[in-house]
């Protein structure tokens, strides 16, 4: 390529001459400020998502007992506690305790453990593993699951 000032064939550099960015040779670069070379943008390769190596439900072996809200309310009343007192003991708001008792809000596993300890009741039950088989060689679909549920 040719220098934009003198026209000489040479290795060119970017320089700022009189406020204009130009490609100039070594000799003409003294008329301006040599700019650092631009590096070519090389995109980083995207990481491939790791496939799930196991079933996410595999470790889920406990579930809340049926009518857990009613059991919590009855145990609270047996202990003679108000919702405010129970909430203070397990670190939850009064409105949260009310929603849990009405089964409008499922408590976190951590909160369930605290409730079990304070109220001296069991709220978790063991859950057996379900085995669902598909009919034929095609993959299992949501429709197959719904048909099996009935």
pLDDT digits (tens, 9 = 90+) for 47-80: 777 666 566 566 677 888 889 999 999 999 999 9
Indicate if the pLDDT at residue 134 is higher than 70. no
34 and 66 in one domain? Answer: no
What is the pLDDT, as a whole number, of residue 74? 94
CATH number, position 84: 1.10.260.40
Give pTM, 2 decimals: 0.50
The number of domains in the chain is 2
pLDDT band at 137 (very low <50, low <70, confident <90, very high): low
CB under 8 A, 24+ apart: contacts of 118-124? 118/86, 118/89, 118/90, 119/72, 119/75, 119/76, 119/79, 119/86, 120/75, 121/71, 121/72, 121/75, 122/65, 123/64, 123/65, 123/68, 123/71, 123/72, 124/62, 124/63, 124/64, 124/65
What is the pLDDT, as a whole number, of residue 115? 93
Q: Domain of 8?
A: 1-38
């Amino acid at each position: 390529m040719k220098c934009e000032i003198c026209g000489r064939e040479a290795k060119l550099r970017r320089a700022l001459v009189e406020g204009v960015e130009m490609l100039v040779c070594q000799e003409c670069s003294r008329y301006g400020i040599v700019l650092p070379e631009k590096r070519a943008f090389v995109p980083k390769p995207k990481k491939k998502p790791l496939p799930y190596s196991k079933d996410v439900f595999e470790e889920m072996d406990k579930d809340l007992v049926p009518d857990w809200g009613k059991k919590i309310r009855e145990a609270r009343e047996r202990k003679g506690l108000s919702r405010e007192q129970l909430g203070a003991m397990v670190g939850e708001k009064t409105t949260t305790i009310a929603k849990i008792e009405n089964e409008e809000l499922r408590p976190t596993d951590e909160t369930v453990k605290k409730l079990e300890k304070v109220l001296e009741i069991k709220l978790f039950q063991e859950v057996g593993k379900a085995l669902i088989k598909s009919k034929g060689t095609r993959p299992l679909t949501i429709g197959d699951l719904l048909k099996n549920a009935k």
